[in-house]
Amino acid sequence: MSYSAKTSSLIGTLIAVIAIAVTAALVAPEFSEAGIAENCMDKLCSNLQMLRAQIELYKVQHHDCPPMRAFDGTIAFDAEFQQMILCTDADGNPRLRGPREKRNALYAFGPYLQSVPENPFNNSRTIVRAHSRSDIPVPGGAGWAYIPETGEIYANDSAFHGRL
């Protein structure tokens, strides 16, 4: 093989490698963005599952009343979700004084959450009241929409995620 033939095959190989590298550089961001969206969806589903499980535990320990609903059916909406974050008594009253995360004879239930988890799609931990599932998403940018009459909680960042 002559010198010019070796050089031309080396140049051809180098051009092929550069073309593959450029193609990979253009395609890689699409794959990483898909991975980020998939991770956000996994986190959203995990947070929803955890919130729903803790609300169910609260209901079991409070005579089937979800947080923010009293035994007589009245609603006392609390955007901070104190009944889930603090210890509560049997009637669902949160412990507002003293070590709020420590149980005692009166405040024997909870806390069910350390804090309200973040909705990864809008980075919000806030809770807004919804009157029904068809209200979701509720305007205002809250991370979660909560129906205190039933104890249902949904993602509040989009109508699609609100159906989860």
Tens digits of pLDDT across the chain (164 residues): 565 555 567 777 777 777 777 776 666 555 555 566 679 999 999 999 999 999 999 999 999 999 998 878 888 888 889 999 999 999 999 988 877 778 899 999 999 999 999 999 999 999 999 999 999 999 999 999 999 999 999 999 998 998 88
User: Which of 48-53's residues contact partners 24+ apart within 8 Å by CB, and which partners?
Assistant: 48/153, 48/154, 48/155, 48/164, 50/117, 51/113, 51/117, 51/144, 51/153, 52/153
Tokens 């550089």 label which residue?
25
